[in-house]
Structure 1
Amino acid sequence: MQMQWKRISIVLATAWVATLVVGVMMSLPHGANNDAFADQQIRGRAATQNLNTAQDISTAFRTVAEVMRPSVVSISTKTDVAARVQRLPPNLRRQLPPGFEEYFRDGNGRGRQNAQPQQQGQGSGVIVRQDGYILTNNHVVEGADIVTVELSNGSKIDADVVGTDPETDLAVLKIDRDGLQAVPFGDSDAIQVGDWVLAIGSPFGLDQTVTAGIISGKNRVQGIVDDGHGFEDFLQTDAAINPGNSGGPLVNLRGELIGINTAILSRSGASAGIGFAIPVGLARPVLTSIIENGEVRRGFLGAQVADVTPEVVEEFGLKVSRGALIRGVLEGQPAANAKLQPGDVILETDGRPVTTSSRLVNYIASRPPGESVQMKVNRNGQTMDVTVNLQERTDQAMAMFGAGTAWGAELEPVTPRSAERYGYTDLDQGLIVTSVSDEGIAADAGMQVGDVIEAAANRPVNSVAQLTQLLAEAQRQQVPLQVVVRRGNTRMLLVIR
C-alpha cells in the first residue's frame, strides 16, 4: 500500500503542476502566451535530445562492457615457500633460524604436504592474442611462483610468465588455450583529454568490474616505475581504479585497448579519482619484443637530453621553445654517427612532435635496435632532417652515461655556449669540468670546476666515454694516466693514478 501511495502522490503532484502551468499561461497576454508556449517546446526538444544523448552513452558503455568481458581476466599469484626454502644454497639454509627448515620437511626429507603455498597477490589482465597471450603489470606477478588466470567463464588456468619488463612495469603471460577473444588495440596518442573511457578489472577481487570516466590528463611522469628509473608516459583518468585493477584494460568507447591500468594517486589507498594507465603506444612494443625475443630489446641513441624550458632557452640561446635539447653525445654511438651535436634541439621523430625529453627517450626505447629514425632537428635556428640508425640499449651502453661518476666529477663536451659560460673564447674541443665532488679521482688530481680536459695519454678527448676508456686502459696496464688540463690561460699536466 505504501508503494502504491507514493506512486499516486507523484502522479497527483505532476497533475497539480500541469494545472498550475496552464493557469499561469491562461492569465498571460496572448503574445506572452505564445512566447511561453514556444519556449516550452524548445526546452522540451532540448530535454529530449539530452535524454537521447544520455541513453546513447549508456548504450555505448553497456556494449563495450559486454564486448570486453571475454577479453578481461583475473590474476592471482602465490609464493611457494617450501620450494623456495629447498632452492636456497646450503650455506644460506644453514643460516635459517632453528626449526625453520624442518617445518617444511617431513620425516623422509621431503617437503611437508601441509606447507601450502601462501597467497601473495591479485590483479587483472587482458587477452591480447587468441592463442593465450595476456598483458598485465609486472608488479602483479613479480616474485610469484604460481600464477593463475581466471577467465570470464570462471575457468582457472595456470599461466607461464613469458617475460617481464620492470622498466615499464609490464609482464606477458601465456595460458594453454586457443580461440580466445583478443582485445583490439587503439591509438593512445590520438585519445584526447575529455574523451570517455572504461576501466575493467577485479578491484578487491570483484571480477569483471566496470567503471567509467574520462581522460583527465596525458603524458604524466610520476617517478614511480622501477624506483623512478623506468619509462613513464601515463594516461590519467578519473575512472575508478582500486587495488586489484592493476594490469586490467583501459578502453575507449569503440572497445579498443588504449592503456593498462597501473597505479592510483591516493592518501587512503582507495580511488580518489586520479588513476594512471600505461598507454598502449608504450606497452605494445614491449609486448611484441617479449613474445618474439623472450625479453625487451630497445633502441639506443647515445645522447644526453633535457627538456626545453624558458630557463634553458635563455641559458643556451635557443631559437625554439619546445623539443628535447641534446646536452651531450657519446662518441661512436648513433647520435654522434648521425652528426648530431650538443646544443641541437630535436623537434620531431618519425613525424611525431617531441614535446619533452622523456617522450623522446620513450620513443627511442620503443624502437627495435637497428631501426632508422627520421628526426627534425633545429641547430642555431636552422631546421634540418637527420636519419639516426639506432643501436641496442644495453647495460654496457647505459654505463657510458655514468662514466663521469668514476671520476667524482661531472664532465660535458665543449660547446660554444658552455665555453662562454666558463670564460673561454677559443675552445672547440675537450671536456669541461662542471662539478667536482669532495672524493674521487678528479679531486685527488686537483681538478677544479671550469677546467677543460683537452687530452689524455697524448690523445685529444671529446667524450666522457673516450676518457673513461683511456683511464681503464691505464689501470689495466698499471700505469698513471697523464691528462692535459686547461685552466684559464694556463695548460697543466695532471697525473691520474
Structure 2
Amino acid sequence: MRRTALYSRGSRPAATQSAEIPEPAPDSSSDTSRDALGAPAPKPRSRVRALLARWPRTVFVLCGALGAAMVAALFVGINPLPYKLTQKDIDLAVMRTLETAVLPSPATRAYAAVLPSVVRVTGYNKKEKGEEHPNGVGTGVVIVDKGLILTNLHVVQGSERLKITFANGMETGASVVNTQPENDLAVLQADTVPDDLVAATMRSTDKLVPGDHVFAVGFPFGIGPSLSAGVVSGLKRNYKSPEGEQELRNLIQFDAAANPGNSGGPLITAEGEVVGIITAILNPTEQSVFIGIGFAVPIENAAAAAGMPPF
C-alpha cells in the first residue's frame, strides 16, 4: 500500500504561491488615527517637549537655577553655617567651667607671678682664721632685669660679702649700690644675672585699703622661698625698733605670717604685684617671732631708693 508523503519535494502550484493573505480590516475600536491619505497621524507632543520647543532658553535657565540650588543645599548640609554665640551661651559655658574645672587659688597665682623675681640674700663675715661664716639670711626682689635688687638695710649691714641666690638656683656675688636708712632699705647689684631674669611688677599703694588680700614671700628662718597669706590690716603705721634706735613711718600693716628671714622680701597683691618691702614684725616679748603684726615699706619709698621715678 502506498504511503502518503509527509513533505512534498516539488514546488507549490503557482496559484498557491501567488495567493495573498488578505489584510485584516481596520479595527474601528483602535485609537490610532490616520490622515486623509490613510497614513497614521503624528502623535501629539508631550508638555515638556512643547515647553522645550517653545522656550528652550527659559527652560535651560530654570534648570540651571534648580541645579545651583540643589548644590547649595548639599553644601550647607555638609558644611553648616557657624552658630552665632549669644551672651546666654557664654554665661552657661563660664558656669560649667566654674563648676567642673579646678582653678588655682589666688595665692597660687600670686606666688607663680612673683617667684622668678625673688632672691635669697646671704651675708658672710670672716672669722679670725680667715674662714667665712654666715652673718644672716634675708630676702630680696628683683626690680630691674639687669640685676637691681631691693632688700632691707639691716639684712646686708655688717656683712663683708654678699651672695645672691636666684630662683633658678644660680648663685652670684652682689654689692650695695644705694641705701635709704630712714626706710631701712638697700639696693643691690648682682655681679652676674641669669639670661632669663624677670623683674617683678610694682604697684602703687594709692588704692590699697584694709582688707585687701596680700601675701608675704621670702625665706623665714632660711626656709624657702615660702609664701604666707593675709590681708592689709592698716596703713600709715609707725614702728619703733626694740632697741629704740630708729622709728619707721608710713608703713603697711599686714597679718600674713612673717619671721626672721622674710626681711627684704616682697609683700604682693593677689595679682603678684609688689606693693611693699617687708621690714619688721611686732612682738612685745623678747622673742623675734610672728604674732600677727607685720610691717612693710610702701613700694613708692622703695622705688625712690632705687632711683626709679614715682608712680
Give the TM-score range, shorter chain. 0.5 to 0.7
Cα offsets for 1:438-486 (capped at 9, x unmatched): xxxxxxxxxxxxxxxxxxxxxxxxxxxxxxxxxxxxxxxxxxxxxxxxx
Q: In the alignment, which residue of structure 1 is the partner of 2:296?
A: 277
Q: Percent identity?
A: 37
Residues 1:282 and 1:225: Cα distance change in structure 2 (over 3 Å): farther
**Is residue 192–residue 215 contact of structure 1 (8 Å, CA) maintained in 2?**
yes
**Is residue 238–residue 247 contact of structure 2 (8 Å, CA) maintained in 1?**
no
Residue identity matched to 1:163: N
Q: In the alignment, which residue of structure 2 is the partner of 1:119?
A: 134
Greater share of helix: 1
Which structure has more RCO (C-alpha within 8 Å, separation ≥ 6)? 2
Secondary structure of the structure 2 residue equivalent to 1:63? helix
TM-score when normalising by structure 2: 0.62
Segment drifting more, 196-205 vs 161-170: 161-170
Pairing 1:223–2:240 present? yes
Residues 481-492 of structure 1 aligned to structure 2 (within 5 Å): none
Bigger Rg over Cα: 2
Pairing 1:129–2:144 present? yes
Residues 89-488 of structure 1 aligned to structure 2 (within 5 Å): 104=129, 115-175=130-190, 176-177=192-193, 179-224=196-241, 228-229=245-246, 231-266=248-283, 267=285, 268-288=287-307
In 1, Cα distance between the equivalents of 2:289 and 2:271?
A: 28
In 1, Cα distance between the equivalents of 2:222 and 2:186?
A: 20
Which ranges in structure 2 are unaligned for 5 or more consecutive residues?
A: 1-94
Deviation at 1:233, TM superposition (A): 1.0
**Is residue 169–residue 226 contact of structure 1 (8 Å, CA) maintained in 2?**
no
In 1, Cα distance between the equivalents of 2:261 and 2:273?
A: 21
In 1, Cα distance between the equivalents of 2:197 and 2:168?
A: 12
Residue identity matched to 1:195: D
Residues 1:225 and 1:166: Cα distance change in structure 2 (over 3 Å): farther
Residue identity matched to 1:278: V
In 2, Cα distance between the equivalents of 1:228 and 1:253?
A: 34
Pairing 1:59–2:105 present? yes
In 1, Cα distance between the equivalents of 2:221 and 2:140?
A: 14
In 1, Cα distance between the equivalents of 2:243 and 2:257?
A: 24
Detail structure 1 runs of 4+ shifted over 2 Å in the superposition. 223-231
Secondary structure of the structure 1 residue equivalent to 2:271? coil
The CA RMSD measured in Å over matched residues stands at 2.5
**Is residue 198–residue 210 contact of structure 1 (8 Å, CA) maintained in 2?**
yes
In 2, Cα distance between the equivalents of 1:150 and 1:208?
A: 11
Deviation at 1:230, TM superposition (A): 5.2
Secondary structure of the structure 1 residue equivalent to 2:144? coil
**Is residue 166–residue 225 contact of structure 1 (8 Å, CA) maintained in 2?**
no
In 1, Cα distance between the equivalents of 2:134 and 2:121?
A: 12
Which ranges in structure 1 are unaligned for 5 or more consecutive residues?
A: 1-47, 83-103, 105-114, 293-365, 367-497
Cα offsets for 1:203-229 (capped at 9, x unmatched): 011121000000011110123399555
2:120 aligned to which of 74, 91, 96: 74
| Number of equivalences | 209
Deviation at 1:194, TM superposition (A): 0.3
In 2, Cα distance between the equivalents of 1:227 and 1:120?
A: 22
In 1, Cα distance between the equivalents of 2:239 and 2:248?
A: 10
In 1, Cα distance between the equivalents of 2:244 and 2:171?
A: 33
Secondary structure of the structure 2 residue equivalent to 1:288? coil
**Is residue 239–residue 248 contact of structure 2 (8 Å, CA) maintained in 1?**
no
In 2, Cα distance between the equivalents of 1:225 and 1:144?
A: 21
Residue identity matched to 1:210: L
Cα offsets for 1:95-122 (capped at 9, x unmatched): xxxxxxxxx4xxxxxxxxxx30122101
Deviation at 1:262, TM superposition (A): 0.8
Secondary structure of the structure 1 residue equivalent to 2:301? helix
Residue identity matched to 2:115: R
